Structure 1
């Protein structure tokens, strides 16, 4: 039997590559006769570049140094390919703005900035990229991409790069150079690869939904909502809004799906002409996943926690949808499973399996993530793989 092993990262414990190897190790223990193909995946968050680099051997990796969310130097990379006469640069925003770059007591989305992501984009421009794909996810920021825009020259760092809360006090002229910055991207296609469809503002927006995960108190989240609202007001005063050709109404970029991704990075990039795509769809296309599934008998995906968010654009949902298209059975092995059987079946999954279910099992899994994941994969293989 040919089994494709295609997990996302298990956030906080294993990278996608480590998870794939652990599942493969367990599978081989129960079904040594099976042919295994490992294809780690990402939805645009941490690991986005590693996954693409392994699937695009012809790509060149450019090492750069950028600022982390608090302004400290950190190493990052840009993946560059030249295909069909187009120079494409792949960036991972988490390398500059990721939550993993901060200690627990440093996490405060009121003061963190996306300046380093702007440095990455600027480096891609200087390399001659005519298409820039930015993976969004896992950010520690909530500044609507203001820091990114400052790094690209749209306004003064003192106004835009001091974190989301400082945007509450910016002047009407804080983005006076935004039009000139947009001009730099006239002939550049900017693609936002994300699993999040949230708008920038409102009950489903960046501040309300995601800032608490980054360390914001309820009071701070509310203040950030107001600050980002002020930022949108200044943007609308600075740039004339385009008109929707179908409705005749003004196009509100802050309300567009994905504007709230990366703490509003989606909004900042959309001001440069960026368009959103599904992050996992972008990765699946780049790695040739559909052709791989056509030659497979089973696909095993996975992630740290299989929950309601998994149903909305995450790796598991993307894998299950493509597996349905190719009539390939799919199962998920997750650290924890919080989704019922009915919900899993709506994705097209043939089974879902948890590494840990009780508090004691969760503690054991955190202490030995590789061993416990491999052990669970071995039991799943015994169920799915026919005996030789």
Structure 2
């Protein structure tokens, strides 16, 4: 039988495997069943953890190492990727290196207190590299401060007011952002790109606090408190920064309502205040790794992530891969640690099948103890269904 050309393009399995490790485990399992198949490994990211690792594999660039603050103020290693391109230089920043939930122990996850100050340090380092474009990947954060910490690091206001976490913003004075205009001017001549995995606004039922606060450790009461604090922050912004005008209608734009303003606990909003524009993180990465060219020569696409749930259907890697595969006329399947959505929800994306590594509590425990081995075994079983060359 003819060998099958399979593109293996997963996101990271958060907390257990990087995207590269997941792709390698899937490939090993596939070869266990169908050693004659041709496999192309394309680890991916949607802007969250692994963003720099994935882009560093695909793009020729220089990695600038530095030390920044994590969400609770500890020093952690981080990097900026600088890439020369026709007409200029681009710096890529992964916000999760400084604000990631994975940096916090379970008892440290408190979005009332965590800060994005370290992300501001990363963006400052990018500015110092004499670039004309900065791309900031957002996702996987453990913060909910509307990017106030980032703005403080850029000189927009005092750190003792803006960099103490989301809840402290409720008591911020009217003059807390006197340096915001000057901070925005630092990006004059720089294309600031905000690569997000979600399109949520900053406030409301679909906002940062309500939707993502709980996974960062917020109780319902704390999520409501944070909603009020971020609302107070937008009031201070309105007193400080003139609203930009919509180019079509000429009416003022409410940046807190813009799609992606709620990404990474509101980091999207802060970057919009600095003149940033939003793009889909997964689409940016797919273009960077040459995904569309590779799938044209392939038969099947296998993607995956730790938990495939309703959020996965909205701007995450699996959804982006499935849509791109559908456009190329290829089937795609999802191999995830857990699958929490049904066939009806995935049909619209063109996904041909979803497969879970773990379906029972015992299997979840086993997967956490041996993530590579259990993912490899599941990939081997999936190959029995999808490989004609076995």
Class of the TM-score when normalised by the shorter of the 2 chains: over 0.9
User: What is the rounded CA distance, in whole Å, between the counterparts of 1:382 and 1:303 in structure 2?
Assistant: 21
User: What is the rounded CA distance, in whole Å, between the counterparts of 2:127 and 2:226 in structure 1?
Assistant: 31
Instruction: Provide Cα deviations, 1:38-74, integer angstroms capped at 9, x if missing partner.
Output: 1100111101110111111x21100011111111111
Deviation at 1:98, TM superposition (A): 0.7
Runs of 4+ in 1 over 6 A off after TM superposition: none
Q: Secondary structure at the match of 2:245?
A: coil
User: What is the rounded CA distance, in whole Å, between the counterparts of 2:122 and 2:181 in structure 1?
Assistant: 20
Q: Does 1:166 align with 2:168?
A: yes
User: What is the rounded CA distance, in whole Å, between the counterparts of 2:188 and 2:157 in structure 1?
Assistant: 19
After the TM superposition, which residues 377-388 of structure 1 pair with which residues of structure 2 at under 5 Å, given as runs? 377-387=379-389
Query: Tell me, which stretches of 5 or more residues in structure 2 are unaligned?
Result: none
User: What is the rounded CA distance, in whole Å, between the counterparts of 2:216 and 2:233 in structure 1?
Assistant: 20
After the TM superposition, which residues 169-184 of structure 1 pair with which residues of structure 2 at under 5 Å, given as runs? 169-184=171-186
User: What is the rounded CA distance, in whole Å, between the counterparts of 2:123 and 2:244 in structure 1?
Assistant: 24
User: What is the rounded CA distance, in whole Å, between the counterparts of 1:307 and 1:194 in structure 2?
Assistant: 18
243-252 or 265-274, larger mean C-alpha shift: 243-252
Of 104, 107, 110, the match for 2:106: 104
Equivalent in the alignment of 2:11: 8
Of 123, 129, 139, the match for 2:125: 123
After the TM superposition, which residues 125-274 of structure 1 pair with which residues of structure 2 at under 5 Å, given as runs? 125-274=127-276
User: What is the rounded CA distance, in whole Å, between the counterparts of 2:171 and 2:97 in structure 1?
Assistant: 28
Q: Secondary structure at the match of 1:82?
A: strand
Deviation at 1:245, TM superposition (A): 3.7
After the TM superposition, which residues 17-32 of structure 1 pair with which residues of structure 2 at under 5 Å, given as runs? 17-32=20-35
Instruction: Provide Cα deviations, 1:99-119, integer angstroms capped at 9, x if missing partner.
Output: 111111111111111000000
Deviation at 1:218, TM superposition (A): 1.5
User: What is the rounded CA distance, in whole Å, between the counterparts of 1:143 and 1:334 in structure 2?
Assistant: 31
Instruction: Provide Cα deviations, 1:125-156, integer angstroms capped at 9, x if missing partner.
Output: 01111101011011111110111001001111
User: What is the rounded CA distance, in whole Å, between the counterparts of 2:17 and 2:246 in structure 1?
Assistant: 44
User: What is the rounded CA distance, in whole Å, between the counterparts of 1:28 and 1:355 in structure 2?
Assistant: 17
Deviation at 1:186, TM superposition (A): 1.2
Query: Tell me, which stretches of 5 or more residues in structure 1 are unaligned?
Result: none
Equivalent in the alignment of 1:85: 87
After the TM superposition, which residues 300-319 of structure 1 pair with which residues of structure 2 at under 5 Å, given as runs? 300-319=302-321
Deviation at 1:28, TM superposition (A): 0.3
CA contact (8 A) 2:37 2:389 kept: no
Deviation at 1:244, TM superposition (A): 2.1
Deviation at 1:333, TM superposition (A): 0.7
User: What is the rounded CA distance, in whole Å, between the counterparts of 2:141 and 2:200 in structure 1?
Assistant: 14
Q: Secondary structure at the match of 1:111?
A: coil
Q: Does 1:33 align with 2:36?
A: yes
Q: TM-score, normalised by structure 2?
A: 0.97
Q: Secondary structure at the match of 2:320?
A: helix
Equivalent in the alignment of 1:328: 330
User: What is the rounded CA distance, in whole Å, between the counterparts of 1:216 and 1:258 in structure 2?
Assistant: 20
Q: TM-score, normalised by structure 1?
A: 0.98
User: What is the rounded CA distance, in whole Å, between the counterparts of 2:250 and 2:64 in structure 1?
Assistant: 44
Aligned residue pairs total: 387
352-361 or 17-26, larger mean C-alpha shift: 352-361
Deviation at 1:246, TM superposition (A): 3.2
275-284 or 238-247, larger mean C-alpha shift: 238-247
CA contact (8 A) 2:93 2:135 kept: yes
User: What is the rounded CA distance, in whole Å, between the counterparts of 2:140 and 2:276 in structure 1?
Assistant: 19
Deviation at 1:242, TM superposition (A): 2.0
Cα RMSD (Å): 1.0
CA contact (8 A) 2:138 2:263 kept: yes
Equivalent in the alignment of 1:65: 67
